Amino acid sequence: MTPDRQLYGLALHTSSPQLGLAISNFSSDSRDQSADGPRNRTWDLGRELSAQLHLLLTEFIKPQTWKDLTFIAVATGPGSFTGTRMGVVTARTLAQQLDISLFPVSSLAAIARSHSSVEFSNIAIQMPAQRGQLFTAIYEVNAQGVTPLLPDGARAPDIWQQTLDHWETPYQLIVAPADRGASAFSVLELAHLNWQLGIRPSWQDALPFYGQHPVKTDPAT
């Protein structure tokens, strides 16, 4: 079995205009941003994501190599349709070629993880979606990870407010920022928690979650 000090995980977050990458061997101090310690970076790329992703990824991983990776994690949305798809496709291709596990992680779950607090174990998250709706979810957050209490979905604002009004457990409401690349490290942490439980998902299990169809269709057609 590979010793923990040689275990490297890589996370990609492309479901917003901000690219986020994170890497760690999970044995160094989280404050150590040296070449061997955990690292995470963000880039505000917008429409340049497709042109810059592979170049930045190749540079970011150094001085580690692809062979140092034990698993990959990827934010699967909800979020930008094009960006989410690009990140998932890239992560699937890498995991398949390297023959390593790929952990799909909800973008909203990663936000819940990054906003965990002692006061609230329930984190409610909302994020603007198309056609006046919101992407929403409620997660229970603890040391073991995050558990969806209300799954990710697109909901009308009034339905979401009714859900919150009738929620029986105290919660913290988080409005997701427009640029969510910084939560790439939370994507990586959640994947590592599952890795420690012995979960080894295939690259085929990672699918993008768009939440809504990118084009509004006419129900009469």
Q: Please state, rounded to an integer, the average pLDDT across all residues of the chain.
A: 89
CA distances from 95 to 10, 37, 38, 50 (A): 10, 22, 20, 19
Residue 203 region, left (φ>0) first, then alpha (ψ -120 to 50), else beta? Answer: alpha
pLDDT range class, residue 4, cuts 50, 70, 90 = very low
Q: CB-based contacts of 62: which residues, under 8 Å, 6+ apart?
A: none
Mean pLDDT of 70-86: 95
Burial level of 183, CB count in 10 A (0-12/13-18/19+)?
A: buried
- pLDDT, residue 5, reads 46
Q: Residue 66: pLDDT above 90? A: yes
| Domains within the chain, CATH numbers bracketed | 4-106+179-205 (3.30.420.40), 109-175 (3.30.420.200)
Q: Where are the alpha helices (DSSP H) in the chain?
A: 49-60, 81-98, 107-114, 157-165, 184-196
pLDDT at 157 over 70: yes
Please determine, for residue 30, whether its predicted confidence score (pLDDT) is greater than 80: no
pLDDT of 28 reads: 57
- Each residue of 99-150: pLDDT tens digit? 999 999 999 999 999 987 767 789 999 999 988 999 999 999 988 899 999 9
Output the CA torsion 41→48→18→77 (10° steps): -120
| pLDDT at 150 (0 to 100) | 97
Of the candidates 61, 98, 70, the one whose C-alpha atom is nearest the C-alpha of residue 195 is 70
Question: What does the pLDDT read at residue 46?
Answer: 87
Question: According to the model, what pLDDT value does residue 44 have?
Answer: 93
- Residue 217 — very low, low, confident or very high, per pLDDT cuts 50/70/90? very low
Question: Are 74 and 187 in contact, with CB atoms under 8 Å apart?
Answer: yes
pLDDT, residue 119, reads 76
Confidence at residue 218, expressed as pLDDT on a 0 to 100 scale: 39
**Percent over 90 (pLDDT), the chain:** 73
What confidence category does residue 35 fall into, taking pLDDT thresholds of 50, 70 and 90?
A: low
